[in-house]
Structure 1
Amino acid sequence: MSDAPALAVVEATRDRSHDPAYHDYVQLLVGNVIAEAEAQGWAVTRLAADHGADALLADTARADAVVIVGGEDIHPDFYGGPTGYPNESRHLPAADAAQIALVHAALVRRTPLLGICRGLQIVNVALGGTLVQDLGEECGHVNRGVPIPQVLTTHTAHAEPGTRIAGLLGEQPIEVRSAHHQAVDLLGAGLVVSARSHDGHVEAVEHRDAPVLAVQWHPEDVAAPCGQLRSLLGGLSQRVPVAA
């Protein structure tokens, strides 16, 4: 049996046959998370949340840490919003429910959790928060009308002094790569804002008491600043108990 700490990397689904280009790009991003985690010594299990909450909770019961990665919009039923908003993606309610249940389980279990993009929104919604459903056509957080590999854009984020994000990435302006058309609106219970974007939108949150941290950007993108993903994943290992 391996002595390596166990990391669960959780995506919404592995089935995006309706959109092969998007599917391929998501696989690239998830693969980068897995490769960096394995380089840091994690034993990684890759899981799809659309198999349901019971399966996901069982499969993560022994995980030492969890990463929830990016993907489709959360169904508005989970935060009391309407459907029919601009740039609405397809919804995966079973995956939403499973990842929300996983956030609650991580809080109870004190399991370190890192959310990326959709993962931040899942954390916020799980704790009673809401979302700005669309940031507008000129929001600067996503490139529109371009091939999928070009949708990510570069902008700055500013960490709040004294937060975990500042401790991991520094308090100077952070260059980030993002591709999101939604953002945190009402903040979930127990969360604090740990970084904001150049235009004031929430770019990172963390829990006041639990080892939960989430970023709205993609540190796993190939054009992200060197070492950013390494630092964020390293923050998970700082909270994993050392085996005797």
Structure 2
Amino acid sequence: MTDLAARPTLAVVEVTRSRPDRPEYHAKVQTLNATVVDAGTRGGWTVVRLAAADLDPAALLDLTDSADAVVIVGGEDIDPRFYGARAGYEGETTHFIDADEGQIALVQRAADRGTPLLGICRGLQIINVALGGDLVQHIDDGIHRNVGVPIDEILSTHDVHLHATSGLAAALGDTRISVQSAHHQSVGRLGAGLVPVATAPDGLVEALEHRTAPITGVQWHPEAPDAPAAQLPLLLASLQASLATTEVARAA
């Protein structure tokens, strides 16, 4: 029998568990998030799933205080007040300010503590904003998402080039991979300590890594139904490897 007490704890932090005004979008997001939770459980984690908008930021920090690693998953746009920009841009979505504030605080604490953290889609953007970067508020093309289609068809498949010396390339075992994405915003000014480690065919940044902390963000969805099956397990395994390295360093 597996000793659950010996498993490291993974906090999977989503935006909200309730979108009554957008049932189709909500169903899609919930499917993706549940895939991350299931992959974490299969990968040897004790998974705690939390919705940042359904808690105040202090409660979110408290509930994740003992987590060994964190995954921040996808969802709505970050309120532009958090990166010094204005509302009213093309394609703007609903904003969840408590979720933004709580997830930003999670990233900042992870950077301070050296807690392994993975950001997926919005999660990458949260990482960048939390560390002082900003966002390109709207991109409108057929590479990063399919435009004018039902929500179940919005994910676009494209290649991504990974920097050969990046931790991400080491984790995924290649420098060119196929991914699925569905985003209309992208990284602008880089946050402190962050370096771009992957690009799309149009040159947009597709992944970030922190220079010293075990923090990685990917703009694509490794948890998407048609994404290569190994991507998400390998990314979660890299969190465990980072955790082990961090524990060894603390013990030294």
TM-score (normalised: structure 2): 0.93
Write the letter of the residue equivalent to 2:60: L
Deviations 1:55-83 (A, max 9, x none): 11000100000000000000000011111
Write the letter of the residue equivalent to 1:195: A
**Mean alpha-carbon deviation: is it higher for 163-172 or for 152-161?**
163-172
5+ residue gaps, structure 2, are none
2:76 is the counterpart of 1:75: no
How many percent of aligned residue pairs carry the same amino acid?
Answer: 53
| Equivalent in the alignment of 1:135 | 139
| Equivalent in the alignment of 1:169 | 172
Matched ranges for 1:1-150 at <5 A: 2-50=5-53, 51-136=55-140, 138-150=141-153
Question: In 2, are the aligned partners of 1:155 and 1:175 still within 8 Å (CA)?
Answer: yes
Deviations 1:189-226 (A, max 9, x none): 00000101111000000000000011000000010012
Write the letter of the residue equivalent to 1:164: G
Question: In 2, are the aligned partners of 1:152 and 1:179 still within 8 Å (CA)?
Answer: yes
Q: Secondary structure at the match of 2:232?
A: helix
User: In structure 1, what is the Cα distance between the partners aligned to 2:68 and 2:214?
Assistant: 12
User: In structure 2, what is the Cα distance between the partners aligned to 1:170 and 1:134?
Assistant: 31
User: In structure 2, what is the Cα distance between the partners aligned to 1:143 and 1:135?
Assistant: 12
Question: In 1, are the aligned partners of 2:146 and 2:156 still within 8 Å (CA)?
Answer: yes
Question: In 1, are the aligned partners of 2:15 and 2:75 still within 8 Å (CA)?
Answer: yes
- Given the alignment, which residue of 210, 213, 228 partners 2:213? 210
Moved over 6 A (4+): none
Question: In 1, are the aligned partners of 2:163 and 2:175 still within 8 Å (CA)?
Answer: no
Matched ranges for 1:224-235 at <5 A: 224-235=227-238
Number of equivalenced pairs:
243
Deviations 1:145-184 (A, max 9, x none): 2111111000111001211111112343210100000000
Q: Secondary structure at the match of 2:208?
A: strand
5+ residue gaps, structure 1, are none
| Equivalent in the alignment of 2:199 | 196
Report the alpha carbon displacement of residue 139 of structure 1 after superposing the two structures with TM: 4.4
RMSD value, Cα: 1.4
Write the letter of the residue equivalent to 2:223: E
Question: In 2, are the aligned partners of 1:160 and 1:171 still within 8 Å (CA)?
Answer: no
Write the letter of the residue equivalent to 2:99: A
